[in-house]
Amino acid sequence: MAEKYRTYAIPHPQWKDFPNNLPPNTRVDRMTRDRISIDPDPALDIFEITVKTQHTVRIYRRKDASILPLFVYQHGGGFVTGGLETDDKTCRAIAKRCSICVLSIEYRLAPEHPFPVGFEDCWEVLSWASTKEAEVQLNFDLKKGFLVGGTSAGANFTAGLAHRYHHSPPSPSSAPITGLAFWAGSWCHPDVRPAHLKPYIFSVDEIDDAPGLTKSSIDYFWKKYGAPKDDVRYSPLLHEEAEWKGVANKVYFAICGWDPRRDEAILFADMLRKQGLDVKNKVYSGLSHGFWTTCPELPISEEWEQDTLAGIEWILQ
């Protein structure tokens, strides 16, 4: 089945000449952990708070909005880098166009804070966000929509968090998660791929020339993170397939075609469909892991942003 996806790894025409002409520090600036003053936006209220769990989160919401749905977001960075600045542009765009309160989490990073610290930080914030106290403080209503999502490592967290939340909710009265969004996600260490899926996951072994992520860099990040390969908080694809039933109503995937993680994303999307979830996925053929962060000036990166906004709007419908 996965053989037909090999053509997705042929580099996109927009990519071929672009990487050698990046503006200085394009990637570094986006992945910084330094505290940077928040650029004001005339349409948005953007502010940071330390929630009850003592974790910093950044809130984005339209100035002209009243009570909104909620989107809890986890940034990417291989578990070892990144921060609130990494996906600030995307969070602004989602809050502005989709009329949703975005809560972006600054979880602690490895290797100073190895597995499972980052995951558990996000779980604590997600649990707090599900409370009436949080609804009142930030003026959102989970009945209007409760979305969880992330990019790369943040997408990895999202899957494990959603599974735990569904099967072991923070409280008996916790509102259900209604939607999930995954961008360039990873859901299983290559060495512990489920036996029945292993014959269909070629990309992690074959794509070793892509910018942004290779099998060797996957191994590098894993060693820094320190997670047991078969811990479901790191490899959520190891959960029984039937356990994903009811985890959310709708799921949106953005999948990079020239990405070692491509095949597991496609298989995970199919798995969720089989369990009755409404799933949409978009494959960006010939584009590498998180290309929109590395190369925001590409026209295809603007297309990705518009697709992302449409995907969130679809979940909220």
- Structural domains present in the chain: 2-316 (3.40.50.1820)
Which comes out higher in pLDDT, residue 29 or 161? 161
pLDDT value of position 23 = 55
pLDDT value of position 275 = 99
pLDDT value of position 28 = 42
The CA dihedral of 119, 124, 129, 133, to the nearest 10 degrees, is -170
Cis status of the peptide bond prior to 111, with omega within 30 of 0: yes
Query: Residue range 134-153: average pLDDT?
Result: 98
Q: How far apart are CA 217 and CA 205, in angstroms?
A: 12
The model's confidence at residue 34, banded by pLDDT at 50, 70 and 90, is low
Residue type for position 225: Y
Mean pLDDT lowest among 194-198, 244-248, 308-312: 194-198
Q: How far apart are CA 262 and CA 214, in angstroms?
A: 12
DSSP characters for 229-241?
Answer: TT-TTT-GGGS-G
Q: How far apart are CA 176 and CA 178, in angstroms?
A: 6
Q: How far apart are CA 276 and CA 174, in angstroms?
A: 22
